[in-house]
Structure 1
Amino acid sequence: MSGATISVIIAIVGVGGTLASAVITQILTQRAELQRLEREERIRLAEQRTADDQRRIDQLRNCYVQMNAHDRHYRDAMLTYAYALKSGSAETDAAEVTSARRTQRDTRAEAQLIASDAVLDLESRVNAQLTIAYRRLMEATGESDSSTRQARLKQVIDLLDSIIPQLGHVRALMRVEVTASQELPDWYNPEIGLAQNQLADY
């Protein structure tokens, strides 16, 4: 093989190597850019999911704060009214019960679109007792016999007192769902509350 031929071969190999190097560099650059874009997209999606999750938690927290506050206010308004009836002066407290009942009902209607099934299930037991207490309270209001009225008011007060532990269990579950607590407390029991046949006794 002549020197000229060897020179041509070397030149071809050199040019080919240079071209191949440029192509390989371009491919590697494109691959690195694609990986960078994919990584940025994953980060963007993760940040968007985090923001969406936070918006959901904020919405849930607001809902739960309102539901907890209005359940308690409704219960407290009825209890105040029951004690006022027992003492014989209750005219001004009746309007507060009506207002608290309406607000609690509106809050529950909103919560039914937002709250988890677990919270709704547990809170519905509280609401069932509040409803029974309200009905019994209204019956006591219209009772003309003093001793019967006092007995009915005692039932209402006992029922309203029994709601406090249930409200605590609902609140504990709410706190976990809005990440205010990491886990449910040891005393949490989703079966807390009166059975339906016990509720009927009231």
Structure 2
Amino acid sequence: MTESSIAIIVAVLGIAGTLGSAVFTQLLASRARQAEIDREQQARADEHARAQADEALATRRACYIAFNSAARRFHAQIRHCTHALRGQKRPDDPWAALDETRSAFANDYAELQLTAPDRVLTAAHGVNSELNWLYGMVRRLNDGNGRDEESVERA
């Protein structure tokens, strides 16, 4: 090998190294930019998922509150009717309001069924069953069709 051949090889390697270095630098920069874009997209996706979870929780919570309030109103109205069955004077007609509170309770229970997990639905079903059992009893007692085991005191 001659000196000029070695010089050409060194020059070619120098040029290739310089060009390769530029390409390698661009490749690393491109990968870094893509990684940053991926992190930003993941952060947006995480934020969106958190917002959806927060919204779902708020919806469930609103359903729980509405159901609880409706159940309390329904139960209170049943109590007003038992007072009326005992002959206690009421400032309003408890029987007219009973059907309204029962309907509102049924609507809130139906909405709860669409959003609540099974363990909550199990408890809500128990509340629904008991209140409707009481409703039937006070209605039958008011109509004079009470069953043998049914009484105002039991209601």
- Normalized against structure 2, the TM-score is what? 0.88
Any residues of structure 2 matched to 1:40-51 within 5 Å, and which?
Answer: 40-51=40-51
Distance in 2 between the 1:110 and 1:50 partners?
A: 23
Distance in 2 between the 1:80 and 1:9 partners?
A: 104
1:110 counterpart SS class? helix
Any residues of structure 2 matched to 1:180-191 within 5 Å, and which?
Answer: none
Distance in 1 between the 2:111 and 2:73 partners?
A: 17
Q: Report the alpha carbon displacement of residue 109 of structure 1 after superposing the two structures with TM.
A: 1.5
1:155 counterpart SS class? coil
The equivalent of 1:142 in structure 2 is: 143
Q: Report the alpha carbon displacement of residue 85 of structure 1 after superposing the two structures with TM.
A: 2.3
Any residues of structure 2 matched to 1:185-200 within 5 Å, and which?
Answer: none
The equivalent of 1:24 in structure 2 is: 24
The equivalent of 1:97 in structure 2 is: 98
1:35 is the counterpart of 2:42: no
Distance in 1 between the 2:19 and 2:76 partners?
A: 84
Rg comparison, structure with higher value: 2
Percent of pairs with identical residues: 28
Distance in 1 between the 2:61 and 2:133 partners?
A: 28
The equivalent of 1:154 in structure 2 is: 153
How large is the RMSD of aligned CA atoms in angstroms? 1.9
The equivalent of 1:133 in structure 2 is: 134
Distance 1:88 1:143, change over 3 A: farther
2:114 counterpart SS class? coil
In the alignment, structure 2 segments of 5+ residues that lack a partner are none
Give the paired residue count. Answer: 151
After superposition, the C-alpha distances for 1:96-150 in whole angstroms (9 at most, x for unaligned) are 2111001001111122211212111111111111111011101221239xxx9xx
After superposition, the C-alpha distances for 1:27-79 in whole angstroms (9 at most, x for unaligned) are 11111112111111211111111011011111111111111110111001111
Return the letter of the residue paired with 2:86: K
- Normalized against structure 1, the TM-score is what? 0.69
Distance in 2 between the 1:92 and 1:133 partners?
A: 18
The equivalent of 1:14 in structure 2 is: 14
The equivalent of 1:75 in structure 2 is: 75
The equivalent of 1:87 in structure 2 is: 87
In the alignment, structure 1 segments of 5+ residues that lack a partner are 157-202
Structure 1 range deviating more: 89-98 or 13-22: 89-98
Distance in 1 between the 2:95 and 2:112 partners?
A: 26
